[in-house]
Amino acid sequence: MSIKAKFGTTEDLVSAIEWTDIIDVSQLDSIEQESKSVPVLIFKYSTRCNLSTFMLKKFEKKFDYEEGSVKPYFLDLRAYREISDEIATRYGVAHQSPQIILMKSGRVTYYANHEHIKFEDFKERV
């Protein structure tokens, strides 16, 4: 289920971020490659967690990158837990929700969980 399906139309979203859903573990290979040319953001979200919704909307409200300067990906943990598990195995980032992960040059360079997700901290590291 896409992020738009979770929250309704794009008008219902706080921002107009063009999230790309991660729906298959094989996407991690291409995301890793993509991060070698553009910073990649992965937002891990749980539909059962009110904090996930709060942090997502707060993060989106501040997200001010021009299209193409950061590639944003969205991972629905309830639907695709196995992808989160693979991220933990590959990159050593323990499964948490909500969680943001920044990838650059094919590796994880920053991550934050729960209430520690702050756009300003993310922006400093991009």
Q: What domains can you pick out in the chain, each with its CATH number?
A: 3-125 (3.40.30.10)
**Average pLDDT in the chain:** 86
Read off φ and ψ for residue 117, nearest 5 degrees. Answer: -75, 110
Mean pLDDT across 28-49: 94
- Per-residue pLDDT tens for 77-126? 899 999 999 999 999 999 888 999 999 999 999 999 887 788 888 888 88
Tell me the C-alpha distance between 64 and 1, whole Å.
25
Tell me the C-alpha distance between 42 and 20, whole Å.
9
